[in-house]
Amino acid sequence: MPNAFNFSASPFDCLDPEERALVRAGVDIAYFPEAAVVLDVGDRPTHLFVIIKGHVTQLEGEEVLATYGPDDCFDGRGLVAGRVSSRFLVAEELVAYQLARETVGELIARNTAFGALLFSDLGHKLSTLAQRADRHELQSLTLARVDQAYLRPAHVVAAGTDIVTVTRLFHTERTTSVLVSGLPGRSDGELGIFTSTTLQRAILDGRPLASLAVGEFASHPVVTVRAGDQLGDAMLLLLRARVHRLAVLDDGGRVLGILEALDLFSFLANHSHLITVQIEQAQNLAALEPAAAQVTRLVAALQRGGTRIGLMARLVQQLNARLFERAWQMLAPADLVANSCLFVMGSEGRGEQLLKTDQDNGLLLRDGYAPPADLETICQRFSAVLERFGYPECPGRIMLSNPEWRGAAADFGRRVRAWLLLPGEGDLMRLAIFMDAHAVAGDAALLEAVRQPLLALAADNDAHLARFAADIDAFGSPAGWWNRLLGLGDEARAVNLKKAGIFPIVHGVRSLALLHRIAETGTAERIAALQAHGALEAELGGELLEGLHFLMGLRLRAGLAELDLGRAVTGNVDPARLSSLERDLLKDALSVVKRFKALLHQRLRLDAVA
């Protein structure tokens, strides 16, 4: 049986062949019936247990701290500390490997990654995981399709067009090349290409440019690539043909656009830069739509490449903000843009949205400003455009098309204060969403003028703040998720990571920020400010941020898998698809949530809230 030890489960997957031999030599098998106590508080453990079959519950008093299933190991921390601090009770008949303490000690001495993954806190585990992960971002991007890169419009001119006319087209269309049709001696419809480099040859020819036909200088044949080809192949073709651009064809041979070498290499080096270029060069809403589609592709490519979640979220926030701003500028008259503030809220406002979820946005108007008579139509069109771009309408109607989320700054300020002071059903959640508001277009000072008095009002009233923060318990205790995590009982198998951990972290940090009048809207920035104020211990703050990013990463991967299958994105995680390491990290993250909620209950006196 020891020869069947599962070395693909964490932390044993980081062992080399000699270290694996140590495990085989030092492992035995143990059996415990249901309800047996494997380890109790104060015991001096002699073995590390690795579950083959069954489940074990870790208890502190009567409270469930964690549940362990097949391939999970326990109690490593008790082993290294020399004493067990919890009770480990068999919830379902247990068969487990037991690895002698001396063997575990030798493995720790030989392999630092093994020790870090076995005993460390959440932050150190994630750091070790990142260091040993074998990521290949460049490889994943070169495997992308050609039509996933930015294709510049293909402009076609007749061979008889004079050089001056073509030069004017270069200027007006901001391009450096045109395709040339009807080349002399070519009856097969083959195209040529004339570029800004070729223009230099025409100038040096000495004849008047207005009398020179572009067909005389066009190069042919044009080097082409199919839209479905891989970018890596396109890159090799560029280098092999010694050209700076490729004409991209669909399956029918029709030209879809031009792939410039600069755009290709920029895609590989910094994909987000290409989307920014696409947004900036868009002249209408139809031209913005492909850029919106590229954002999700960017997220998928960055996730495959192992990009840090925090960085990925900030990139997406910047791209979405610029996309929304450009769309708003195309729909709203300049006078409205100048006298208003378009803002986004929720995860988008915090800079923590990765995949496109519900629209959460609003509009503040300058006091005394008379908006255009068709304001309602403009706002409805904006919401419809975002839906076309892939951002679904909010089921709760938290968006511009709903009059409740737009209005004069003074009126809106009174409405928001009422949500805090005299909350009706759903008002405290509306307030929480608004506290994350981030300006994306117009005058950002209008938003700050509404939010700053609200910060002062909430911080000065303990009862209002406690009522606001109490929603951290809206989805139950982290301990209630253990059975779902391991598929025990009648609970649904899917784990809702937002309810289990993301929301309690986000809303708890948001509540502390409100208490200390911190104006930052992102969770990471709020944690940093709370630490700077001495309102949050550095260690707990770091674990909260690491836990949040880990949960966001799991949710992102699940959401991308749902998109691949053509399903609606829920981001719910199937525990059966988690590795033993991911289950271990998820337990650690939910344990951090539990400690944080206990701190909030004490500091904000939440138990006194009716």
352-382 pLDDT, tens digit per residue, is: 989 887 889 999 999 999 999 999 999 999 9
Q: What is the pLDDT of residue 230?
A: 84
pLDDT at residue 1 is higher than 50: no
Q: What is the pLDDT of residue 587?
A: 83
More confident residue, 580 or 350: 350
pTM of the model: 0.68
CATH classification of the domain holding 382: 3.30.460.10
Q: 450 and 475, same structural domain?
A: no
Q: What is the pLDDT of residue 208?
A: 92
CB distance 68 to 23 below 8 Å: no
More confident residue, 15 or 459: 15
Contacts of residue 20, Cβ cutoff 8 Å, sequence gap at least 6: 5, 7, 12
CATH classification of the domain holding 215: 3.10.580.10
Instruction: Identify whether 164 is part of a domain.
Output: yes
Q: What is the pLDDT of residue 138?
A: 47
Model confidence band, residue 111 (pLDDT cutoffs 50, 70, 90): confident
64-70's contacts with Cβ under 8 Å and 24+ in sequence apart are 64/479, 64/482, 65/479, 65/591, 65/594, 66/482, 66/587, 66/591, 67/91, 67/482, 67/483, 67/485, 67/486, 67/488, 69/486, 69/583
- Angle (CA) 469 472 477, round 5°: 150
Q: 342 and 234, same structural domain?
A: no
Average confidence score pLDDT of the chain: 85
pLDDT at residue 514 is higher than 60: yes
Contacts of residue 582, Cβ cutoff 8 Å, sequence gap at least 6: 554
Q: 237 and 343, same structural domain?
A: no
> C-alpha distances in angstroms, 231 versus 139, 241, 281, 346?
10, 15, 23, 36
Q: What is the pLDDT of residue 480?
A: 56
Q: Is 562 exposed, middle or buried (0-12, 13-18, 19+ CB in 10 A)?
A: middle
Domain stops at, among 404, 429, 460: 460
pLDDT at residue 483 is higher than 60: no
What is the C-alpha separation between 605 and 607, in angstroms, rounded? 6
Q: Is 18 exposed, middle or buried (0-12, 13-18, 19+ CB in 10 A)?
A: exposed
> C-alpha distances in angstroms, 147 versus 52, 144, 150, 154, 156?
48, 8, 7, 14, 20
Q: 297 and 400, same structural domain?
A: yes
Q: What is the pLDDT of residue 120?
A: 59
Number of domains, the chain:
4
Tens of pLDDT along 213-249? 999 999 888 999 999 888 878 877 886 787 889 999 9
Q: 153 and 113, same structural domain?
A: no
What is the C-alpha separation between 243 and 195, in angstroms, rounded? 11
The pLDDT of 176-203, averaged and rounded, is 87
Contacts of residue 248, Cβ cutoff 8 Å, sequence gap at least 6: 146, 147, 151, 224, 225, 226, 227, 255, 256, 257, 258, 259
Q: Name which of 108-117, 271-280, 287-296, 499-508 the model is least confident about.
A: 271-280
Instruction: Identify whether 217 is part of a domain.
Output: yes
What is the C-alpha separation between 367 and 149, in angstroms, rounded? 44
Instruction: Identify whether 287 is part of a domain.
Output: no
Q: 410 and 304, same structural domain?
A: yes
530-534's contacts with Cβ under 8 Å and 24+ in sequence apart are none
Q: What is the pLDDT of residue 258?
A: 94
CATH classification of the domain holding 59: 2.60.120.10
Contacts of residue 462, Cβ cutoff 8 Å, sequence gap at least 6: 604, 605
Instruction: Identify whether 540 is part of a domain.
Output: yes
pLDDT at residue 486 is higher than 60: no
Percentage, residues of the chain above pLDDT 70? 89
Q: What is the pLDDT of residue 136?
A: 41
Q: What is the pLDDT of residue 77?
A: 81
pLDDT at residue 478 is higher than 70: no
264-269's contacts with Cβ under 8 Å and 24+ in sequence apart are 264/149, 264/231, 264/234, 264/235, 264/238, 265/235, 267/141, 267/144, 267/149, 267/150, 267/231, 268/138, 268/141, 268/142, 268/231, 268/235
Q: What is the pLDDT of residue 143?
A: 64
Q: What is the pLDDT of residue 577?
A: 76
The pLDDT of 277-296, averaged and rounded, is 86
More confident residue, 138 or 237: 237
Q: 190 and 88, same structural domain?
A: no
Q: 241 and 100, same structural domain?
A: no
Model confidence band, residue 132 (pLDDT cutoffs 50, 70, 90): very low
pLDDT at residue 522 is higher than 80: yes
Show the domain range for 33.
Answer: 2-119
Q: Name which of 483-487, 503-507, 583-587 the model is least confident about.
A: 483-487
Tens of pLDDT along 423-446? 888 898 899 999 999 999 999 999
Model confidence band, residue 133 (pLDDT cutoffs 50, 70, 90): very low
Instruction: Identify whether 284 is part of a domain.
Output: no
Tens of pLDDT along 155-186? 999 999 999 999 999 989 888 899 999 887 77
Q: 442 and 306, same structural domain?
A: yes
Domain stops at, among 441, 460, 479: 460
Q: 566 and 521, same structural domain?
A: yes
Model confidence band, residue 134 (pLDDT cutoffs 50, 70, 90): very low
Q: 402 and 339, same structural domain?
A: yes
Domain stops at, among 84, 119, 154: 119
Instruction: Identify whether 285 is part of a domain.
Output: no
Q: What is the pLDDT of residue 81?
A: 78
More confident residue, 494 or 12: 12
Instruction: Identify whether 277 is part of a domain.
Output: no
Q: Name which of 105-119, 164-178, 251-265 the model is least confident about.
A: 105-119
CATH classification of the domain holding 567: 1.20.120
Q: What is the pLDDT of residue 608?
A: 67
Q: 340 and 259, same structural domain?
A: no
The pLDDT of 386-396, averaged and rounded, is 89
Model confidence band, residue 487 (pLDDT cutoffs 50, 70, 90): low
Instruction: Identify whether 126 is part of a domain.
Output: no
CB distance 90 to 34 below 8 Å: yes
